[in-house]
Amino acid sequence: MVTQSVGLPQLVLRELTVTFQRRRGGTVAAVESLDLTVREKEFVCIVGPSGCGKSTMLRVVAGLVRPSTGEVILNGRSVVEPGADRGMVFQSYTLFPWLTVQGNVEFGPRLRDVPDAERAAAARRYIDLVGLRGFEQSYPKELSGGMMQRAAIARSLANDPEILLMDEPFGALDAQTRALMQELLLNVWQQTRKTVLFVTHDIEESILLGDRVYIMTARPGRIKEEVAISLPRPRTVEVVDSEAFIRLRRYIHKSIREESLKVLA
Amino acid sequence: MKERAPAQSAVTPAPREGQTRGRASFGLQDALRPHEPIGRSAYLGGVSTTVLLIMLSWSVLTYGGLVPQLFLPAPTDVIRAAAALLREGSLQIHTMASLTVILTGWALAVLIAVPLGILMGTLKLVEALVEPIINFVRYLPVSALIPLLILYIGIGTAEKVAVVFIGTFFQLVLLVSDVSANVSKDLLDSAYTLGAKRRTVLSRVLLPATLPGVMDNLRITMGWAWTYLVVAELVASDRGLGYMILDSMRGLFTDRIFVGLLTIGLLGLMFDQIFKWLHRTLLPWSPRA
Ligand SMILES: Nc1ncnc2c1ncn2[C@@H]1O[C@H](COP(=O)(O)OP(=O)(O)OP(=O)(O)O)[C@@H](O)[C@H]1O
Ligand SMILES: [Mg+2]
């Protein structure tokens, strides 16, 4: 059993509030007074009812949305704009269609003028890591959904970000492919030990992947509670049948259900 | 991990679920599946069937004496008229005149409309500045402007270029702005999270993302440009295919009218094919290539 290496706080969200202007006047609070911390090399998952502000929270961390109040601090610096230090993988397919897999993976390094040889080596490493060897010269239109998301993960990793933000990256995939992708991500994470902040509405996914799971309240989203996942690592999908896994699943499920019911009430 | 790229089904369509394949040959069953590609020979078969049917009815109507020759000349009459026009050299002159006007007017429109449309779809400020004018002019039929243009610049080549320009420009701006407004926000955002700055996102992401849509609209507006051109040539002109048609009508040379129509049709077909070829060659990554 590998013990968890608990690092220093790397990402801190403090009293984060995001309100959107409604088209017909008035405002909606998507996220309200949200606090959370991600430590170095930690894999943190966020689950919550639909529309509770998970994507909004992640987009604030990425610097794509400006918070109304509160702040995001990454390695001691306040986040004000998007940057290569925070890679993001989206639920929708966002590979650049005009670039090959290799071109996509080299996109970030190319922007930073990384020398050719180094860039090619990084691309090769991450393309191999996500199991896309042989598809370097394929265009996205020639790939399946799962392959596109793997390439998107490689593209983010090739930029060597300090933290990887993932917004339901497997949400658009069928169940079998999703299971394979989860296994692949566990493997990739084991080898790269990136800090990951992973948003999902799939409870099993969050337990399988995460060191900790934050449960969000219904909109306006804030942290309802935090669940430590002390399942041994390295993990494989077999863990889902374990007693501990099932207990955690039941617990988180109940907690989210309470929140979802609030929305309906 | 056993995923494969979707097989390129154009050559040998892979059998799919729910598809029974009794015979080895390419049956009607296969050809009637929505959106499925059919073989090249099957496609060409379809094309030649249509062409043959048209030629057949044309021949029956004319050689069978069902329609007076003044209304519909026989195929051989049209061929003879075309040969005569070629010998005189007038078909070449009129075709060149039309091509010059259409290419100049259309290219000028493209040169300005494409960048403007991309900016308009991307920056709300540009949209606010440009949209009211464009939406107003767009609904003015170009033909209504021809008298004014003749008054301003006479009936020479410049006037016809202006007609083609105005006809295509305003439509193209709106079409292209739609294309660029529809570029996925996540695509742009993922570029930002890879470290791109605003200018880079515009030039390295937004611009290439619009290319397939822009290419389609270039093809479509080129088709419209022919309409505006011929209208301009019919109103006041001394050369061009539109003029040739009008002039033939005055002498009741129906066969020459048909030569003019066929030439316009064939040129249109040629341009269409060129654009499709360009799309495939320049944008091999495009889902529509
Ligand atoms: N740009 C915006 N303008 C106005 N309202 C917005 C905007 N973005 C999000 N919202 C609103 O904020 C709330 C939270 O949205 P968000 O997409 O963050 O939720 P989510 O938890 O990711 O949902 P899902 O599980 O469906 O992905 C929603 O009610 C949404 O309508
Ligand atoms: Mg979301």
B50 pLDDT higher than 80: yes
B151 pLDDT higher than 50: yes
- CB-nearest to B187 from A82, A94, A156 is A94
What 8-state DSSP symbol labels residue B202?
I
Q: What is the pLDDT of residue A260?
A: 81
Q: What is the pLDDT of residue B28?
A: 73
Q: List the CATH number of the domain containing B117.
A: 1.10.3720.10
Cβ atoms of B81 and B252 within 8 Å: the answer is no
B277 pLDDT higher than 90: yes
Which candidate, A76, A78, A88, places its Cα nearest to that of A161?
A: A88
pLDDT tens track for A90-108: 999 999 999 999 999 999 9
> B12 in the Ramachandran plot: left (φ > 0), alpha (ψ -120 to 50) or beta?
beta
**How many structural domains compose chain B?**
1
B88 pLDDT higher than 90: yes
Cβ atoms of A126 and A164 within 8 Å: the answer is no
**For residue A19, what are its two tokens?**
């309100």
- Neighboring chain B residues of A187 at a CB cutoff of 8 Å: none
A172 in B contact zone (CB under 8 Å)? no
pLDDT tens track for A107-124: 999 999 999 999 999 999
Largest CA distance in chain A: 59
Distance A56 CA to ligand 1 centre (A): 6
Which candidate, B57, B59, B50, B52, places its Cα nearest to that of B77?
A: B59
- Assign A265 a pLDDT band (cuts: 50, 70, 90): low
Residue B178 falls within a domain, yes or no? Answer: yes
Rounded to two decimals, what is the model's pTM? 0.86
A237 in B contact zone (CB under 8 Å)? no
Per-residue pLDDT averaged across B219-240, rounded?
91
pLDDT tens track for A69-84: 999 999 999 999 999 9
Distance A64 CA to ligand 1 centre (A): 14
Q: What is the pLDDT of residue A220?
A: 87
Residue B33 falls within a domain, yes or no? Answer: no
Give B5 to chain A, closest Cα distance, Å: 5
- Neighboring chain B residues of A177 at a CB cutoff of 8 Å: 3
The rounded percent of chain B whose pLDDT value lies above 90 is 72
Pure H helices in chain A: 54-62, 101-105, 107-111, 116-129, 145-157, 175-192, 203-209, 243-264
The domain segmentation of chain A, as residue ranges, is 1-39+50-79+201-265
Query: Across the interface, do A138 and B192 touch by the CB < 8 Å criterion?
Result: no
- Which distant-in-sequence residues (6+ apart) come within 8 Å of B204 by Cβ? B191, B196
Q: What is the pLDDT of residue B73?
A: 93
**b/e string for B78-109 if b means 16 or more Cβ within 10 A?**
beebbeebeeeeebeebbebbeebbebbbebb
Measured from the CB, is residue A30 less than 6 Å from ligand 1? yes
ipTM over 0.85: yes
Q: What is the pLDDT of residue A3?
A: 44
Q: Which of A133-137, B25-29, B36-40 has the lowest mean pLDDT?
A: B25-29
Which candidate, A63, A256, A35, places its Cα nearest to that of A165?
A: A63
A138 in B contact zone (CB under 8 Å)? yes
- Assign B7 a pLDDT band (cuts: 50, 70, 90): very low
B10 pLDDT higher than 90: no
Q: What is the pLDDT of residue B30?
A: 75
B23 pLDDT higher than 90: no
pLDDT tens track for A29-42: 999 999 999 999 99
**What domain range includes position B240?**
75-282
Residue identifier of the C-alpha nearest atom 28 of ligand 1: A51
B1 pLDDT higher than 70: no
Q: What is the pLDDT of residue B60?
A: 94
Query: Across the interface, do B184 and A92 touch by the CB < 8 Å criterion?
Result: yes
Sheet holding A69-74, edge to edge: A27-39, A9-21, A69-74, A77-78
B289 pLDDT higher than 70: yes
- Assign B6 a pLDDT band (cuts: 50, 70, 90): very low
- B168: enclosing H helix or E strand: helix B157-181
Cβ atoms of A156 and A164 within 8 Å: the answer is yes
Rounded to whole angstroms, how far apart are CA atoms B218 and B208?
A: 15
- Neighboring chain A residues of B284 at a CB cutoff of 8 Å: 139
Q: What is the pLDDT of residue B165?
A: 95
Per-residue pLDDT averaged across A11-40, rounded?
93
Looking from the CA of A134 toward its CB, the CA atoms found within 13 Å total 6
Rounded to whole angstroms, how far apart are CA atoms B199 and B99?
A: 38
Per-residue pLDDT averaged across A38-66, rounded?
94
User: What is the β-pairing status of strands A69-74 and A77-78?
Assistant: antiparallel
Q: Which of B31-40, B59-68, B83-92, B184-193 has the lowest mean pLDDT?
A: B31-40
Q: What is the pLDDT of residue A6?
A: 60
pLDDT tens track for B106-147: 999 999 999 999 999 999 999 999 989 988 888 888 888 899
